[in-house]
Copies of this chain bind each other. A is one copy, B any other.
Amino acid sequence: MTYCVGLLLNEGMVLLSDTRTNAGLDHISSYRKMFRFEQPGERTIVILTAGNLSTTQATLARLQEEIEHPEASGERSILLAPTMLKVAEIIGACLWSVRDAVDRRIRGEGQFGPASMIVAGQRKGGAMRMFLIYPEGNFIEATEDTPFLQVGEHKYGKPILDRMVRPDTSLADGQKAVLLSMDSTLRSNLSVGMPLDLATIRRDECRVGEQRRIEPGDAKFAKMSAAWSKALQDSFAKIRI
């Protein structure tokens, strides 16, 4: 499986993904699940992927091809699309058509190729927007009421987001929240694994300001994880029932 999460905050957007991919328990690999399409200052789009790897790779390859050959693609380049909504529509349609083609071939094997994605971005003059694209290509959007979106193994790490994330949460606190949400997920579910990819996009900068790969054994992450564990233990000891 996978765990990816995105926050849509007043100050900007925070995105985090793991890298574990598995086809059965004895075929575990590491694959990047965060992809950036950008004309810095003009337009930035970050895609986080979950689900069938052949589906997500084929979808991204097709999106890339349409960016490189916009004349052939019939207005399917996400770097030329007039709005972020149109970007989400293009990605949703592409994801569905790839998945549908995969499904036709592997359905006979009792397997299916669904995948879902978080698409976050902003174009110059437009608003920051973040979408969750479902395997069928339809999508929902993050809002003030629900400022975070998750794909993959989302349940373990949801309680801390429910408690900590509001639209006025700072980018620094947003990074902390997604990392602690991931930390809980890593501890409870083997199908989610390091390294992690963390990206931050400040409002109206239309570029990824910070992108960081957090490797296994990363000192800062380990320290944060240990400090959070200790804080939880201390808080637990103090609570009365």
Q: Which residues of A contact B (CB under 8 A)?
A: 153, 155-160, 162-164, 172-173, 175-177, 179-180, 184-185, 187-189, 220, 223-224, 227-229, 231-236, 238-241
Contacts and interface: CB of A to CB of B under 8 A. Distances in A.
Contacts of A180: 236, 239
A95 to B, nearest CB: 25
Contacts of A232: 160, 163-164, 232, 235
Q: Helix, strand, loop or mixed for chain A's interface? A: helix
A231 B238 contact: yes
Given A156-B158, A163-B187, A231 B241 contact: no
A172 B237 CA distance: 11
A163 B184 CA distance: 9
Given A156-B156, A156-B158, A240 B228 contact: no
A198 to B, nearest CB: 10
